């Protein structure tokens, strides 16, 4: 399947965005582990496009893929209805002009998507590789905004990994993808209905924002509760912000 549409707008500040570094506790050398692959619990052909082949709704398609991965690893896979995902996008961007990632998070905070409640979100420093991998390990996903180069679209269409190459062919536009796995050689995201491996240099050079989604279903599951993270402090801060 060829590459789909782009539609992530420029990073936008939001008063409910918390900083990941404020809630990190001293980290054990084994956190994060050398590798993590949350995405492999779902078959390659099950991810779905969620309208991103015809609309610039990557910011909503990414949330559908996050829900799938987190619920599958927490115990019971939830597959969002594509009509619901596309319908939310049409409501928020009726002219199909794209969306800011934080505007989608603001909507999700007030309106469960596929029955999944969002407690809040935490921004990470996308240039810090340690924080990036900790985010994937602790939260089950790192929702990442990319200024996608034309070279990446060409690589996708050729079935190749996303790598940092020069020349890039220029920036094609903004894209939102959830990273669900990492290892020594790179990271893996989900985009346009399939797993997409990426070199670390690609992530470092083209990501312009990244967030940890705080899903209630993930943290309610004792078997996947994160180690080395002050989730109680984060939870209290989220409640205080919502009450302000």
Q: Of 83, 70, 47, 23, give the one whose Cα is nearest residue 192.
A: 47
Question: How far is it, in rounded angstroms, from Cα 57 to Cα 175?
Answer: 9
pLDDT of 207 reads: 96
* 56-113 per-position pLDDT tens digit: 999 999 999 999 999 998 888 999 999 999 999 999 999 999 999 999 999 999 999 9
Give CA–CA dist 102/14, Å, rounded. 7
Q: How far is CA 163 from the centre of its chain?
A: 19
Q: How confident is residue 220, by pLDDT bands cut at 50, 70 and 90?
A: low
> Please, what are the domains in the chain?
18-243 (3.90.70.10)
Helix extents (H) in the chain: 58-74, 82-92, 101-110, 129-139, 150-157, 200-206, 216-219, 231-243
First to last CA, the chain: 46
**Confidence band (pLDDT; 50, 70, 90) for 223?**
very low
The mean per-residue pLDDT over the stretch 227-239 comes to: 56
- Phi (first) and psi of residue 51, to 5 degrees: 80, 0
Among 118, 137, 120, residue whose Cα is nearest residue 36:
137
Q: Are strands 18-19 and 118-123 parallel, antiparallel or unpaired?
A: parallel
Judged against a pLDDT cut of 60, whether residue 221 lies above it is answered with no
Q: Which residues pair with 182 in a beta bridge?
A: 36, 187
- Give the burial class of 43: count Cβ atoms within 10 A of its Cβ; 0-12 exposed, 13-18 middle, 19 or more buried: exposed
Cβ partners under 8 Å of residue 234, min gap 6: 18, 23, 120, 122, 214
């Amino acid at each position: 399947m060829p590459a789909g549409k782009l539609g992530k707008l420029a990073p936008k500040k939001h008063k409910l965005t918390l900083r990941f570094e404020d809630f990190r506790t001293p980290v054990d050398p084994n956190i994060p582990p050398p590798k993590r692959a949350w995405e492999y619990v779902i078959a390659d052909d099950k991810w779905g496009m969620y309208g991103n082949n015809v609309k610039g709704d990557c910011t909503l398609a990414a949330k559908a893929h996050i829900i799938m991965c987190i619920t599958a690893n927490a115990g019971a896979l939830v597959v969002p209805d594509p009509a619901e995902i596309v319908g939310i996008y049409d409501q928020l961007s009726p002219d199909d002009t794209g969306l800011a990632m934080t505007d989608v998070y603001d909507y999700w905070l007030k309106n469960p998507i596929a029955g999944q409640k969002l407690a809040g979100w935490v921004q990470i420093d996308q240039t810090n590789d340690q924080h990036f991998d900790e985010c994937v390990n602790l939260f089950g996903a790192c929702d990442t905004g990319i200024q996608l180069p034309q070279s990446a679209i060409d690589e996708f269409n050729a079935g190749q990994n996303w790598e940092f190459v020069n020349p890039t062919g220029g920036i094609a536009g903004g894209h939102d993808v959830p990273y669900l796995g990492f290892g020594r050689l790179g990271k893996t995201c989900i985009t346009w209905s399939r797993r997409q491996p990426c070199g670390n240099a690609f992530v470092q050079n083209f990501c312009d924002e990244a967030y940890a989604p705080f899903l209630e279903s993930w943290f309610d599951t004792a078997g996947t509760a994160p180690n080395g993270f002050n989730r109680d402090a984060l939870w209290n801060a989220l409640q205080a912000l919502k009450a302000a």
